[in-house]
Structure 1
Amino acid sequence: MFVSDTIVEVLLRGTVLTTLAMLWVVLLVRVNGLRSFSKMTNFDFVMTIAVGSLLANTSQSTSWESFFQSLIALASLFLVQYCSARLRKSSDTAESIMQNQPVILMLDGEILYPALEKTRVAESDLYAKLREANVLDEKDVRAVVLETTGDISVLHGSTCSKTILKGTKVVG
């Protein structure tokens, strides 16, 4: 691709192609916005993994054809994510098809065991998240929510507005 000496070629190709690909990803993020690598949806998670994989492929390309194919694939990923975000924003039906619903694991100090079973969250993991959130007494917990990203949110205090739990699902 660059020179005939194998060692110099490998070093040069790895450095130049990685730099060009990184600049391309930065440009795509600038065009697509900060949401490009957020963890808001399962689409975002897949996007992050796919970009990493394509970036690795790009930096290891052995021909200009495969390099540009990877760059086009990266741009396509960003386009698909942009379109899916717009579609989810404009259609509740699309949102429900593309996105899991957050599940309440604990409500008003009580563990919802059917929800733990359905979501495959161990009770020990739930208690670990309560400790992480500095919960001193489970009676102070208003809700624990398994979010669409896989994160667990712990809401504790004296009250919890019902609008905070909007869109969540109670299993059981």
Structure 2
Amino acid sequence: MDWGNMLFQNWQGIVRTIFVGVLAYVALVLFLRISGKRTLAKLNAFDLVVTVALGSTLSAILLNESIALAEGATGLALLIAMQWLVAFCSVRSKGFAKIVRSEPTLLARNGAFCDDALRRERVTRDEALSAVRASGGRGLEEVESLILESDGTISASLRN
């Protein structure tokens, strides 16, 4: 095993990574500013996938010498444009929005679990109770409603 080559190959690779990295970062920030705040909003699983894909694409641009900056920037722009198009269509069509976005699910109501919903959404009672405690409640008896939101968070509405 060549330890020296594993730790350092040449200055050309480092200079390329810095140069391309700075330009790719600037391109990504520019594209995100043009596309608007909604692009990186983590409102649901679809938005999260796009955010991860953007990070993966940026990483590939930085570290894979066979990917030119122009190709990588085109990939970033394509992901952002597709995210914008999906958001645009979702706002204008409820049917399309239902295809790409999940609806909130009622997990508990008036101090009782909705067991079918828990099972369907693969949420344990312990996870649900943890959300109750995070909202300031002590137990299920204090819950008016417990909802699994579209973004995967669990929100609790407690009785007064």
What TM-score do you get using the length of structure 2 for normalisation? 0.89
Q: Report what 1:108 is aligned to.
A: 110
Q: CA RMSD in A?
A: 1.4
Counterpart residue type for residue 53 of structure 2: A
**The one of 15, 18, 24 aligned to 1:15:** 18
More off after superposition, 19-28 vs 134-143: 134-143
8 Å contact 2:102–2:150 — kept in the other structure? yes
Q: Hey, which bits of structure 1, 4+ residues long, moved more than 6 A?
A: none
Q: Cα offset for 1:97? A: 1.2
8 Å contact 1:32–1:78 — kept in the other structure? yes
Counterpart residue type for residue 132 of structure 1: A
Gaps of 5+ in 2: 1-8
Indicate the percent of aligned positions where both proteins have the same amino acid. Answer: 26
Counterpart residue type for residue 33 of structure 1: G
8 Å contact 2:129–2:139 — kept in the other structure? no
8 Å contact 1:14–1:60 — kept in the other structure? yes
Where does 1:41-120 land on structure 2 (aligned, <5 Å)?
41-63=44-66, 66-120=68-122
Where does 1:153-168 land on structure 2 (aligned, <5 Å)?
153-158=155-160
Distance in 2, Cα, partners of 1:17 & 1:72: 14
Distance in 2, Cα, partners of 1:136 & 1:41: 28
8 Å contact 2:146–2:154 — kept in the other structure? yes
Q: Cα offset for 1:137? A: 4.0
Q: Cα offset for 1:37? A: 1.1
Distance in 2, Cα, partners of 1:11 & 1:97: 44
3-state secondary structure, aligned to 1:53: helix
8 Å contact 1:61–1:67 — kept in the other structure? no
Count of aligned pairs between the two proteins: 152
Q: Are positions 1:129 and 2:117 aligned together?
A: no
8 Å contact 1:106–1:143 — kept in the other structure? yes
More off after superposition, 48-57 vs 9-18: 9-18
Q: Cα offset for 1:118? A: 0.9
More off after superposition, 95-104 vs 51-60: 95-104
Q: Report what 2:42 is aligned to.
A: 39
Q: Report what 1:167 is aligned to.
A: none
